[in-house]
Amino acid sequence: MNIREIISLFEKAQRIPYYCLRERDPDKLLKMNKGCCLEKNGFLGREYKKLGIQVKYLLINFDWRSLPIPRVIIDKKEDHLGQHLAIKIQIDGKWVIVDSTWDPGLEKAGFPVTKNWDGKSDTELAVKPLQIVELKEQPSKMTVTTNAEFFAALNEYLKGIRRG
């Protein structure tokens, strides 16, 4: 197992701008060059498995209000709860949390961005977990049909931070 390759894949996914798409599909992450936790961490899980690394998927319930997002945007959501996808990988017999969700451009607004990951310890989780459920397999692609106004406003807000 090559730690440098593990870190490189993480950084590749992390650098891709966080963006909530209506059609969420990890297979399209690189082509679209944007995605949310499902695309970014789903992509990572698939790539790590190709390297022979064991992967577990974590479905994390969280409260959007715990993130540094203006209340006027949060209030566009039907409720404040959300679901987040992260992964765990086994490195040297130890399970390590890996979460590439927030791109580095969002750190200045207070989003939890992992910097200089060593490839051996947990990364920061993108959200504060209310509950974590380990999934048997990777969630497949999905279409989001609710909260369109919230996600559009969030995407614009995040774009503005990056331009900042």
Inform me whether the pLDDT recorded for 146 exceeds 70: yes
Looking at residue 141, its pLDDT comes to 78
40-62 per-residue burial string, b: 16 or more CB within 10 A, e: under 16: bbbbbbebbeeeebebbbbebeb
106-138 per-residue burial string, b: 16 or more CB within 10 A, e: under 16: beebebbbbeebebeeebebbbeeeeeeeeeeb
CA dihedral 13, 115, 117, 131 (to 10 degrees): -70
Q: Which pLDDT band, with edges at 50, 70 and 90, does 143 fall under?
A: confident
Question: Which whole number is the average pLDDT over 20-40?
Answer: 92
Inform me whether the pLDDT recorded for 1 exceeds 70: no
Measured distance CA(162)–CA(17) in Å, rounded: 9
**Residues 161 and 109: beta-carbon distance below 8 Å:** yes
Counting residues of the chain whose pLDDT is more than 90, the rounded percentage is 87
Inform me whether the pLDDT recorded for 140 exceeds 90: no
pTM: 0.94
Counting residues of the chain whose pLDDT is more than 70, the rounded percentage is 99
pLDDT tens digits, one per residue of 81-104: 999 999 999 999 999 999 999 999
- Walk me through the domains of the chain, giving residue ranges and CATH numbers: 3-163 (3.10.620)
Looking at residue 94, its pLDDT comes to 96
Looking at residue 164, its pLDDT comes to 81
Non-local CB neighbours of 147 within 8 Å, separated by 6+ positions: 76, 77, 78
Looking at residue 86, its pLDDT comes to 98
